[in-house]
Amino acid sequence: MPEPGPPLNVLIVDDHDIVRLGVRHLLGEQALVHEAATLADARALLARSPFRLLILDLGLGDEFSLTALPQIRRDHPGLKIIVLTSMAEELYAERALRAGADGYVMKTELAQTLAAAVAAVLAGDVHVSPRLRSTLLRRVAGGPAAAAGPELSPREIEVLRLVGQGRSTREIAELLNRSVKTIETHKQALKDKLGAESPAMLIKIALAWCGDAP
């Protein structure tokens, strides 16, 4: 955790009270913690205060914050960002880093892992799991690297997550302000890319990969 000194100004963005409480407790008294449950509230707080660290979940109810990361990074270039989520690392971690995150931690990890991630990113490093770090290093070195998962567009990822929540095609179309036909096209593309032979299989894949789905 950070060395004694000025309070660390932190914004925790998660739609579950118990997660925010747990992270607040982990950060301790040296952190000046603010909380938000939605992207709109998070943006408002970021606009008002000079935060040093943002701890952000990818799944915020019906919101998917991965698509907001590039703009947050542009608006707040000095902000350190850790994604703390239950959404599958193999699908989302590398995309989150490319979008502007400095670290990626699964909620299934021990508390010490998040503490280590905070220390690392505040020191200017990038934090990922040892497995993902090994994959990325092998890729850079030109050696055989584990597959990072199929290449999905941001819109396909949004559709996949909503499928995992049990949303119907019409509900997804309304939430994303797209036509039913467009959503059907996205779902077919997802089936092709993920090897799903049926709508039921796509739902199972979505549940497995989008860990915050009910």
* 111 within 8 A of 90, measured Cβ to Cβ: no
pLDDT at residue 149, rounded to an integer: 62
Give the span between the Cα atoms of 24 and 190, in whole angstroms: 37
- According to the model, what pLDDT value does residue 144 have? 57
Residue 5: its pLDDT value, please? 63
What region, left, alpha or beta, does residue 206 occupy, with left being phi > 0 and alpha being psi -120 to 50 degrees?
alpha
Q: Give the pLDDT of residue 213.
A: 40
Task: Say what the pLDDT of residue 12 is.
Answer: 98
Domains and CATH numbers, the chain: 8-141 (3.40.50.2300), 154-209 (1.10.10.10)
pLDDT value, residue 212:
47
Mean pLDDT by 10-residue block, N- to C-terminus, for the chain (214 residues)? 71 96 91 95 95 94 86 96 90 89 95 96 94 77 61 88 92 95 95 86 79 44
